[in-house]
Structures are given as C-alpha cells and as structure tokens.
Amino acid sequence: MSWTDERIDRLTKMWEGGSTASQIAEDLGGVSRNAVIGKAHRLGLKARPSPVKANEKPEAPVAAPAKPTRPAAGSAAPRPAPASRAAAPAAPRPAPAAPLGGPAGAHPLPSAPATPSPRVVSVGPGGFLRQGPGDQQAPIPPAPPRRLVPARPSAEISEKTSLLELNDRICRWPMGHPGEADFHFCGVKVNPGFPYCVEHCGRAYQAQLPRGARRPPPPLPFGGPRVR
C-alpha cells in the first residue's frame, strides 16, 4: 500500500485531532498501527505522551489531625478510668546472679560447649596426605640390642682354616676354589720370612736357571705374539 497525498493529509488531520494510531489505521484501511506511528514520526508530527504510566499508584488522602476538644465552662473535666490490675500482671523480677566464690549451695552457670576446630588436611604431590601438628605419632622406642651369635661353620670346613682365622703365623695358601663349600686355607706353620709353609713355598718360589739354559715359553694359542 502506497502513501498518497490524500492519505497523508487524512493521517495528519486525525493525528492532530487526537485520534489514536489504531483508530487512524482502521480509518485508512490496509495499514497497521505500527505503520501509522512510523509514518507520523517520518512526517515530523508532534509526539503525544502515552496515557499509560508504569508503576503509578493513587495517592492516599492524608487525614487531618484531630483537634483536642475543650470542656465547657463550669463542667468538671472527666478523669481517666483506673487501669485494671488483672489486665496487666506485674512482670517477674529476674533472679540475682550468684556472685563468684559464693556459698557452697550456689550452682555455677553452665558454660557453653567448646566447638572443635575444623581439621585441615593438606594433600601433597602424588596424592599422599601430609601430617598436621596433631597427627604426629609418638616416637617409637628403639628395639633392644640383639646378641650377635657367630655363625656355625659348615661340616666341610669345621676343622679347617677359614678366611677369618688367617694371621701372620699360618700358611695362606688357598685350597680349592672360592665359592665352593670346602674352600679353605692351608693353615700350617709358615716358613720364617715367607707367607707360606715350606711345601707351598716350593710351589710359589722356583729357582731361576742360568740365562743359557732357559727355554723360550711355548707360543700362545690362537696366533699370539711371536717370541723372539
């Protein structure tokens, strides 16, 4: 629907006449209320305040204060009626508090129960819980000292010289191979000036032959170095 000059003049007259936007839209036909309001704003027509106001409450009438009436001359002023004693009973007086250090029959006031403080738990790396000041356990007393009993030698070396029995006065020639059950040492009296007995000194120390009577040692296996 197009706005013709005739429709615009009709809208202007009705708007200035005080008609509502709904009445103007119904009179023109083919337009809505919002279209009428938008066209009026574009034409620069004077906006009208909305008749509806939000949160508007009617003002309550203020009552005028009543004026005190004076008694007529010669008449006695009325006395106020006495209040009934049974209507308002007297409030009981609070019992006096027992002084500190009073007689033995006085009951002390109950004290408020102490509220336990909340326990704070700290989680360390890895998920384990750290101990707080109140979580520490008492130190564990040390165990009593144990009596060290020497191990019994095996039956294979019960009467033979072991490593713990070696000294400078007995032969140190090993008998067998280390790790075997019957491995031990000679244990015979040493040859003076040597760590072995006379028999084992003959094995450990051999007389050196003259240079001309020496024989070259046999060649080493698997292509060892040549002996000159």
Q: Which residues contact 166 (CB under 8 A, 6 or more apart)?
A: 172, 185
DSSP lists the bridge partners of residue 189 as 170
Instruction: Name the one residue in this structure whose structure tokens are 């408020």.
Output: 112
Please state the domain extents for the chain: 5-43, 159-206
Would strands 174-175 and 184-185 be described as parallel, antiparallel, or unpaired? antiparallel
- pLDDT score for 86: 47
The confidence score (pLDDT) of residue 191 equals 92
Instruction: Check residues 195 and 94 and name the one with the higher pLDDT.
Output: 195
pLDDT in tens, 12-39: 888 888 888 888 888 888 888 888 888 8
> Is the pLDDT higher at 218 or at 34?
34
pTM of the model: 0.29
Q: Which two tokens stand for residue 151?
A: 């191990």
Asked if residues 172 and 148 have their Cβ atoms less than 8 Å apart, the reply is no
pLDDT of residue 81: 54
State the pLDDT at residue 12: 87
d(CA 166, CA 74): 147
- pLDDT bin (cut points 50, 70, 90) of residue 171 is very high
For residue 98, the SS3 value is coil
CB within 8 A of 70, min separation 6: which ones? Answer: none
Q: How confident is the model at residue 174 (pLDDT cuts 50, 70, 90)?
A: very high
Query: What is the rounded average pLDDT of the residues 111-129?
Result: 70
pLDDT tens digits, 85-119: 544 555 556 555 555 555 555 556 666 667 766 66
Amino acid at the residue 89: P
Higher pLDDT pick, 157 / 87: 157
N residues, the chain: 228
Dihedral sign computed on CA atoms, order 151, 157, 161, 166: negative
> Any residues with CB less than 8 A from the CB of 131 and at least 6 apart, and which?
none
SS3 36: helix
Helix (H) or strand (E) holding 175: strand 174-175
129, β-bridge pairs:
123
Residue 150 confidence class, pLDDT cut points 50, 70, 90: low
Split at pLDDT 50, 70, 90, the class of 69 is low
Mean pLDDT over the full length of the chain: 74
For 22-38, letters b (16+ CB in 10 Å) and e give: eebbeebeebeeebbbe
